[in-house]
Amino acid sequence: MPGLLEGVKVVAFDQVVALPATTAVMADWGAEVIKIEPVWGDWQRALVSFNRTPLVIKNDNGEIELHFEFLNRSKKSVALNLKNPKGREVLVRLLKDADVFITNYSVDVLEKFKLTYKDLKDEFPHLIHCLLTGYGTKGPMSTYRGYDYVAAWSYGGPMGLVTADPEIPPAIQRPGMMDMVASAHMLSGVCAALYYKQRTGQGQALELSLYHMAVWTLGLDVQVALYGYPPKVWDRRHNPNPMYNSYKCKDRWMMMVHPNQDYWVPFCKAIGKEDWINNPKYATMEAREKCATDMIKELDKLFVTKTWKEWEVSFIANDLIVSGNHPVSEILTDEQAIANNFYTTLDHPVMGKATLLNSPMQFSETPAKITSVAPQLGAHTEEVLLAHGYTWEDLASLKEQKIIP
């Protein structure tokens, strides 16, 4: 069965996480994705560990980098030396029948290689040119480089809103977390531009910054702040609605979200506090807000007496909205995840079998599919160039000039 984006061709001059994640999903959806790498490879291939977590698996068959494997499945790899003008000529030839050119290299690099939208739009008016930057292409920070930890998590605002105690250092995001959010925004933009192109035949420039994406992610806080009400950091000890809070069970933390009075009676029944239902101290949202700090202390004492699974039984029986913290180690074998097709296992030349996380959108008529594991560096260089009019003699010449490996 053809994929949703069958027939769409993407030339991806990208690196690291955000845009490789975008093009990974496009490949899952059936697009042909040609990843352009320098002859030494996307530097993600060389990342051996992160925060003391090993990322490389080696055996007699070779080695793989796990982040790269996840982000570059179902793609073709073409290795090019763009420092040689003939390397650019090769890339430009690939753009002649491409629908999308996507990149997160800095603007000065794109200007150097004449790969900006301005450089390409006259020759390729059909091309959708997608650019991800740290802070945008205008303004005093337009030339700043930025990973998601800096441009999104820190400068974009989330880091300052997740720790209530000013004496405690702010939390640091998980690897690539904000990049993955950015990838979804870019994907939606590309799909909208493809729809426009289908109707008009015209490409256009798409631009996304990590900074703007992060501010949009904080949109509920920012919109209220625009009217003079800056966001308050969540402090669970003094949350005005104790039913909308995190609590420690005997074995793990849990999070509950009960935003209105409708949940009050079932909440009291679930925790064995029926005597609270009509108690004037607790009976209304307004009353609970007045005594919230003391009530949270009472609930802290109560919830720590049982495990999460023990509490879960009564919460679910009363149709409440609560979940225990779910560590990744449990998600790997979670019955709910497996039932909803979170993972795919493929044959792998290094590992024998490789299990990969599926992209989350599911389609009834055109299901997403991971068709292959991530390619070795330059694995498809010859195949792709031959398909674009190069001869074997041309390839020999390009190799001799060190334009391709």
| Tokens at 229, concatenated | 């009400």
Instruction: Report how far apart, in Å, the C-alpha atoms of 359 and of each of 2, 73, 129, 180, 323 are.
Output: 17, 11, 23, 11, 23
Domain architecture of the chain: domains with CATH: 9-218+341-400 (3.40.50.10540), 236-327 (3.30.1540.10)
Which pLDDT score is estimated for 165? Answer: 81
Is 134 within 8 Å of 178 (Cβ atoms)?
no
Residue where the block lists tokens 């337009």: 142
Question: Is 28 within 8 Å of 369 (Cβ atoms)?
Answer: yes
Closest to 74 (Cα-Cα) out of 356, 399, 306, 394: 356
Distance CA 10, CA 24 (A): 11
Residue 180 Cα distances to 173, 217, 266, 317, 400, angstroms: 12, 12, 37, 35, 39
121-170 pLDDT, tens per residue? Answer: 999 999 999 999 999 999 999 999 999 999 999 999 999 999 878 788 99
Whether 93 and 387 have beta carbons less than 8 Å apart is answered as no
Token pair belonging to 362? 């599911």
Q: How far apart are the first and last CA of the chain?
A: 35
State which residues of the chain have pLDDT below 50: none
Identify the burial level of 184 via C-beta atoms within 10 angstroms of its C-beta, where 0-12 means exposed, 13-18 middle and 19 or more buried: middle
Beta bridge mates, 322: 256
What pTM does this model have? 0.94
Rounded distance, CA 188 to CA 169, Å? 35
